[in-house]
Structure 1
Amino acid sequence: MIKYAVGLTGLIIWLFILHILKKSKLNFWHFLFGSAGAFILMLIFLQPVLTQPLARIVALLASIPGKIAGVYSAHYKYGVIFVESSAGAISLKIDFECSGIIEIIAYLSLLMFYQVYTVYERIYVGVLGVIGMVLANALRITVICLIIYFGGIDMYYIAHTFVGRFVFYGLSVMLYFYVFTKPQIIKQKVGSFSYDSDK
């Protein structure tokens, strides 16, 4: 009860400050404060609810290549993937960190206050971005499982800490570029110039 009371109070204060920043036309601070506030609020209220369903979806998607190739299996109801290699077996639990919920919340928080897009464009790009991040995360888990299957359970640390993160965050950087950086460059007003010989 206290959590929701504090959250509601924080939401009201956040909305009030956002209103002041918008009226003052302080666009940078409106974006910064809005994104940070949205991230914190979603982390408090949505993360506990969405982590387990998201883990199940990621486990289900990651299980498809493993099932086709017959190299690992998933109990996606519990968000668990079972990998058996020649050197032993290991169970991978897709938890809070591996579900990708933090990265998805961060992405949506930034997009909510990114004024380059219209409201409808933000909804459209938001949905596509979330789908892309879920697929990227499923690919990360798939890569980790394949490395463990072919390299043994001793490869778990390298697969999870380095290779898997490189795959996921590499794809995330590409997503951020096409969603945030490229549209900003395209929509900027750039002056034109010409040479005297062109006149």
Structure 2
Amino acid sequence: MFTVVCFLVWIYLLSVFTRGKLYFYQFIWGSVGLFVFMMMWIQPVAIRPLTNLVCSAAGVAGRMTGFYESYSEYSMLFVQHGSEAISLCIDYECSGIIEMMAYVSMLAFFRVYDWMQRIILSVLGCMMIFFANIIRLFVIGTTIYYFGNDAYYIAHTIVGRIIFYALSVILYYYIFTKSQIVKQKIGGFHYAKNTDTSV
């Protein structure tokens, strides 16, 4: 009941910001609220299928190279280096669901795009985050395969995250920053009616 009340309050204040054309507050309030409600209602349902899918997709690269094996039913990657072996469990944090929901929440209230564009870019963006996560897992598995279990910390905490977040920054730049610059008139704070940037 408390959650429903919070949701109704969120909707009401969102409508207030929209009617008042307070688009900055609409973006902040809408993005944060949508993220919270998605984490409460969608994440528990989507997390298990997503981790299995991530594990299966990462396993394809592992089988092709022979660097590791995947067990999607357990959401686990098995990497062997000589006589050493390690099992990598793909859990809530490794699934990429937090990054996907944060991206979708921000894009839903990003007024540079119309609704159809936001839907399409939401799907494409989530796909890119998904594949960025696959690349991250492949790099982690490959590093452990060549350098052993001692390389796990560096591969997972440093190298893997740098790669994943570098790809995420590229996504955010093209979807949010670059589009904002292109569609905004130079010297103004209102959106252009067209995207012609010729001089």
CA distance in 2, matches of 1:7, 1:123: 26
Per-residue deviation, 1:87: 4.7
Q: Partner of 2:153 in structure 1?
A: 157
2:186 alignment partner, one of 175, 190, 194 = 190
Q: Partner of 2:107 in structure 1?
A: 111
Question: TM-score, length-normalised on structure 1?
Answer: 0.92
Per-residue deviation, 1:10: 1.2
CA distance in 2, matches of 1:134, 1:182: 22
1:120 alignment partner, one of 116, 136, 144 = 116
1:95 partner SS: coil
CA distance in 1, matches of 2:52, 2:98: 16
CA distance in 2, matches of 1:60, 1:131: 15
CA distance in 2, matches of 1:17, 1:65: 47
Q: Partner of 1:143 in structure 2?
A: 139
Question: TM-score, length-normalised on structure 2?
Answer: 0.92
2:80 alignment partner, one of 73, 76, 84 = 84
Residues 87, 152 of structure 1: 8 Å contact kept: no
Q: Which structure 1 residue ranges, 5 or more long, are not aligned?
A: 192-199
Q: Which structure 2 residue ranges, 5 or more long, are not aligned?
A: 188-199
CA distance in 1, matches of 2:6, 2:83: 52
CA distance in 2, matches of 1:7, 1:134: 29
The answer on 1:133 being equivalent to 2:108 is no
Q: Partner of 1:174 in structure 2?
A: 170
CA distance in 2, matches of 1:117, 1:78: 39
Task: Kindly tell me the number of residue pairs found equivalent between the two proteins.
Answer: 187
Q: Deviations over 1:51-98 (max 9, x none)?
A: 111111111111112101112100012211100111500000000110
The answer on 1:25 being equivalent to 2:15 is no
Per-residue deviation, 1:190: 2.2
CA distance in 2, matches of 1:93, 1:84: 14
Q: Which moved more, 1:164-173 or 1:70-79?
A: 70-79
Amino acid at match of 1:91: S
Q: Deviations over 1:112-138 (max 9, x none)?
A: 000000000000000000000000001
CA distance in 1, matches of 2:47, 2:129: 14
1:17 partner SS: helix
Residues 87, 153 of structure 1: 8 Å contact kept: no
Over aligned residue pairs, what C-alpha RMSD do you find?
Answer: 0.9
CA distance in 2, matches of 1:130, 1:81: 22
